[in-house]
Amino acid sequence: MMRVKDLMTPGVITIAPATTIQEAETIMKEKNIRRLIVVEQEKAVGIIVHREMIISLQSPTILKETPVEWIMTKNLITIQPDAPITEAIQTLRKHKINSLPVVEDDNLVGIITVVDLLHELTRRLEAETTV
């Protein structure tokens, strides 16, 4: 059975809660990613998604100098690395989200996204057509 650790991306790029929205946006552009995990004392405490960041900047009370902790999603939904892939898929669907931080013993060890799952599906479908 395939596990989350088999498809997750390790070495997640993280930021601190005090990181400004502008700094977060720069990191996302440079790394070509759409989300950052917010970490405090090595524990994942939130997530900031590019789309939500752009929407929040439309508010007159949110500036590019605002810390991401003001706008990040704080109630993280996470998954264990040894969880079956089917559990990850069910969790993503249930909560209508696109990514899950992968946590082991309160430590962030990776992230699994819908894109990771689509890459695996594509790989398997292509393997079927070459048989």
| Residue ranges per structural domain of the chain | 4-129
- Name the pTM for this structure: 0.87
Q: Which residues of the chain, if any, have pLDDT below 70?
A: 131
Please check whether the domain covering 4-129 is classified as CATH 3.10.580.10: yes
Contact predicate 70/62, CB 8 Å: yes
Residue 131 pLDDT: 62
Among candidate residues 78, 59, 82, the one with its CA nearest the CA of residue 70: 59
Residue 83 pLDDT: 97
Residue 128 pLDDT: 83
> In the chain, which ranges are continuous DSSP H helix?
4-7, 21-31, 50-56, 85-95, 114-129
Residue 124 pLDDT: 85
Residue 36 pLDDT: 96
